[in-house]
Each structure stands twice: as structure tokens, then as C-alpha cells.
Amino acid sequence: MKMNINLKNRVAIVGAGLTLFRRRLKETPKELAWAAAKMALESAGLELSDVDAVVIGTAPDAFDGIHMKGEYLADGSGGTGKPVMRVYVGGGTGVFTPIAGWWHVASGLFDVVLAVAEEKMSPAMPHPQSVFAHIWDPIIERPIGPNLIWIFALEMHRYMYKYNIKKEDIARVSVKNKRNALDHPAAQLGAKITVEDVLNSEMLVYPVQRLDISPVSDGAAAVVMVSEHIARRITDSPVWVEGVGWSLDTVHWTGRDLAYPKYVECAARMAYKMAGITNPAREIDVAEVYDPFDYKELHHMEGLMLARKGEAPILTREGITERDGDLPINPSGGLLGVGNPIAAAGMMKVTEIYWQLRGEAGKRQVKKPVYTGLAQAWGDLMQVGTVIVLRAG
């Protein structure tokens, strides 16, 4: 792969939209996609007729209960009569959708692309967890009867064991993110809680407790991505896509180093190389790091090389990752606070960096001036990292 000197076209994000994130929303998946897409277009001052192509991101079909969910969502996402493509990397899809949007524009094929992510987990019966039963190898893993929380607990416990990390240091992430979410208008679980609350919450799969986990949610998010000449015409403050990266590890997760997300490192290296970033801890001003579980924020900070291995809990304990800290992580409130409609949650992280870099995050705006931000997601069988680096124009 080559350096960014070979890139032919720059791509900017010029609009963003979100719906509420809630346990259950009355709207259909199509209506949610439409609400987010409409808000994104309006904020960019563009109309549907300006859109050349649509990229859709959504995770398992079984949540919404529709085979070929991308086809179903096409209309609500503004894709009627247009080139529409759905991309899919499990939980990493939300950040991957604008990455795919990037190459639609950077290829020179399209000028205006709408990237829409939607997830409606509430329809799945008897519980969305039953959908996760089908993510395993059907022959050699599914017969054991695995629960999704098992694998994360296995990974979390290995991480704690290897670096001798205390549960209370991990719980601080949940406390921080739920507090940050109090200022997010989409948030499902913004709350003032303490480390003790997390440690006293229901034990599900040791070491995972109820308040370590993001909720099940419905929601949608969207961004508008345009070529440089359109961006210059319609806005004074475009947010440029400077780096994209993604990486998928082997499906045989039981043979991997569970204490370190190598796949996130590979994805980050790809994005940093493209963005010309050599010292991420110094050059990234604000980051939205994937946090479906509290330990995951720490794990991913290390994979992104924002913290040294085993040291993300120390940065968290010292308050460096708070909104007024030196390296604010998840100022939105993350998945733990805002909610986790899978693909939409990843895209929510991209919208947060977009608003942070434009100085439009209101009470969530981080204290220090920010020019370069990062959003990251993760998914499949603890296997994929997706990274996007954005810069203020």
C-alpha cells in the first residue's frame, strides 16, 4: 500500500444526523434511517437530489428480522433509484460505513455520498441476545451453547490477568462515559454513578457486571461526505477524512493473544500512515473509542497506541481521558452512555468527532482546542478494527 501522496481526491464530512438512542423506538428501521439521513442532509444544506450514491451500514439482519436488510433500508436511507451499497464488518460497521463513503468519493466516481447506519435491536424475540447465539461456528462452537458475554468476559479477564488490572480501574470508564452522556441529546443511559455502583451491580459473567455493559438499543445515524470542490463551496468548516484503516483477524479467536487487540493496531497503523501521523498519543487531540464494555475502551486505547500496553487504566485513573483532560476519550458518552444500536453507535462516534472538530459540541465540547480526532469501532468475533482519522478544515 502506498502513502497518501498518491491519493487523488480529498473527502470532507459536511453534515451529520442522529436519532434518539433508546431501548425501544416506535419508528420502523426505514423511518429511523430516514430521520438521521434527513437531519444530516439539512445540516449540510443539501437535498436528496444532490446525493449521487448511498452507503448503508447495519449489523446482523436477524436484529431487525429482515433478510437482506440493506435492500430493505435502501429507501429510508435516500437510495431510491441510486447506487446503493451495504458494507458489513459486524460491530465495526458503524465506523466502516463512512470509510466506504470515503472511497466512493475519493475514487472520483461521486461528489456527494450519504452514509447511513441503522440498527433496531428491539424486535428480536425473546431477547436480542438470542441473535448473538448465531455468530459462532455452527459446528464446533454453537453446540457448547455460548453466550456473547462469555467471550468478552474471557478477553477482559485475560487482559486483567496479564497487566494485573483492578476491576475498579475498569469501572471508572463506565462512570466517566455515563456521566459524559448526560450532555448528549440522543443518550439512553446518561447517569451519575460511582465506581461502587458498578462493582455492586448484578454479576453476569465474572468479571462482567451489568454496569460494565452498554445497553441494547434502537437508533440511526448519518453523515454527508463530499468531494473537495463541493466542500469548499458549501461550508467554511469542512471536516476532512485524513486517514482510514481496517483490519480483520483470524476467526479462530481461541488461538489469539486476548490481552491485546492486534487487529485494532493494524487498522490504526493503516489510518495513521495515510494521515501522516507518527506519534498518535501526541497528535490525536480527541478520540471516540469503541466501548461496548468498559474494559474495551482501555483495550482499544492501547491498540490505537494512545496508551502503552496495560497503561490505559492509569491514564483513566489520572483523569487524562476526561473531557477536560489532555486526551479526552469518548466525550459523547460512548456506547456505555449514549447507547449501542450497533452500526448506528459506531457512526455516532464519527458524528461526535465531527461536532467536536467544528466546535459545535455544546456542553460536551472538550476543553482543549482540537484539530485532529479519531473514531474507532470493533466487531465480529473480537476480530475487526475500523479506524477513521478526521481533521478540522
Partner 1 sequence: MVSLLSDVAIIGVGWYGFSPVTLEASFREMAFEAAVSAYEDAGDLDPRKDIDAFVTCEEDYWAGISITDEFMPDQLGGVLKPVYTVAGDGLQGIASAYMKIKTGLFDTVVVEAHSKASDILTFHEIMNFGFDPLYTSHIDAHPYYLAGLEANYYMLTSGVGREHLAMIVEKNKRNAITNPLASYGSKLSVDEILEAKYVVYPLSVMDIAPLIDVAIVFVLATKDKAKKLSDNPIWIEGVGWATETNYIETRNFGEALYARIAADMAYRLAGIEDPKKQIDLAEIDDKFSYKELMHVEALKLSNRYSSHLDLERGEFNRNGPLPVNPGGGFIGIGHGLEAGGLIKLLEATLQLRGEAVGRQVKGVKRCVVQSWRDIPTATGAVVVLSNEEV
Partner 2 sequence: MDEKVRLKGTPIKRFDETITVERSSTAKYAWTAGQAISRFLVELKKGKLIGRRCNKCRRILIPPRMYCESCFRATDEWIYVEPIGTVNTAVVSYITTTREKLEKPLIIAVIEIEGTGGSGLFHYLEGVNPEDVINRKVFGMRVKAVWKPEAEREGSINDIKYFVPITGGEEK
Distance CA 233, CA 248 (A): 37
Per partner kind, with CB cut-offs from 5 to 8 A, the member of partner 1, partner 2, none near residue 86 is partner 1
Asked if 238 and 15 count as a contact pair (C-beta separation under 8 A), the reply is no
In angstroms, the Cα distances linking 392 to 22, 239, 250 are 30, 5, 35
For residues 175-194, which are near partner 2 according to CB under 8 A? Answer: 183-186
**Smallest gap from residue 383 Cβ to partner 2 (A):** 12
Picked from partner 1, partner 2, none, the partner binding residue 129 (CB below 5 to 8 A depending on kind) is partner 2
Binding status of residue 198 toward partner 2 by CB under 8 A = no
Q: Are 133 and 146 in contact, with CB atoms under 8 Å apart? A: yes
When the beta carbons of 331 and 385 are compared against partner 2, the nearer one is 331
From CA 231, how far away is CA 269, in angstroms rounded?
27
Question: Which residue's CB is nearer to partner 2, number 43 or number 93?
Answer: 43
Looking at the Cβ atoms of 160 and 267, the one nearer to partner 2 is: 160
**From the CB of 256, what's the least distance to partner 1, in Å?**
10
Q: What is the DSSP string of 98-149?
A: HHHHHHHHHTTS-SEEEEEEEEE-TTSSS-THHHHTTSS-TTTTGGG---HH
79 binds, among partner 1, partner 2, none (CB under 5 to 8 A by kind): partner 1
Does position 362 interact with partner 2 (CB under 8 A)? The reply is: yes
Specify whether the CB–CB gap between 78 and 116 falls below 8 A: yes
Residue with cell 482543549: 368
Give the 3-state secondary structure of residue 96. Answer: helix
Residue among 205, 222, 264, 377 that touches partner 2 (CB under 8 A): 205
**Closer CB to partner 2, 9 or 122, in the complex:** 122
CB of 223 to partner 1, least distance (A): 18
Picked from partner 1, partner 2, none, the partner binding residue 135 (CB below 5 to 8 A depending on kind) is: partner 1
Contact window for partner 2 (CB under 8 A) among 101-109, 233-241, 246-254, 287-295 = 246-254
Q: Is 367 in the site for partner 2 (CB under 8 A)?
A: no
Distance CA 210, CA 205 (A): 9
Instruction: Say which residues have a Cβ less than 8 Å from residue 378's Cβ, sequence separation at least 6.
Output: 91, 92, 261, 263, 264, 290, 292, 296, 300, 384, 385, 386
What is the C-alpha to C-alpha distance for residues 68 and 335, in angstroms, rounded to an integer?
26
Conformational region of residue 109, where left means phi above 0, alpha means psi within -120 to 50, and beta covers everything else: alpha
Q: How many residues bind partner 2 (CB under 8 A)?
A: 68
Cβ 54 to partner 1 shortest distance, Å = 8
Residue 246 binds which entry of partner 2, partner 1, none, CB below 5-8 Å type-dependent: partner 1
Q: Which does 194 bind (CB under 5 to 8 A by kind): partner 2, partner 1, none?
A: none
Considering beta carbons, is residue 85 or 191 the nearer one to partner 1? 85
* Pairing relationship of beta strands 53-57 and 208-209 according to DSSP bridges: unpaired
> Rounded CA gap, 388 and 50, in Å?
25
Which of 4, 80, 147, 237 is close enough to bind partner 2 by CB under 8 A?
147
CB of 63 to partner 2, least distance (A): 13
Query: Which CB sits closer to partner 2, 36 or 389?
Result: 36
Q: CB-wise, 89 or 277, nearer to partner 2?
A: 89
Residue-wise DSSP of 316-352: HHTTTTSTTSSS-B-TT-HHHHT---HHHHHHHHHHH
Does the footprint of partner 2 cover residue 310 (CB under 8 A)?
A: no
Does 68 interact with partner 2 (rule: CB under 8 A)? no
Contact 138, 130 (CB under 8 A): no
Which residues of the shown chain bind partner 2 in the complex (CB under 8 A)?
16, 18-27, 32, 35-36, 39, 43, 65, 67, 122, 126-127, 129-130, 133, 137-141, 143-147, 149-151, 153-155, 157-158, 160-161, 183-186, 203-208, 218-219, 250, 252, 254-255, 258, 351, 355, 360-364
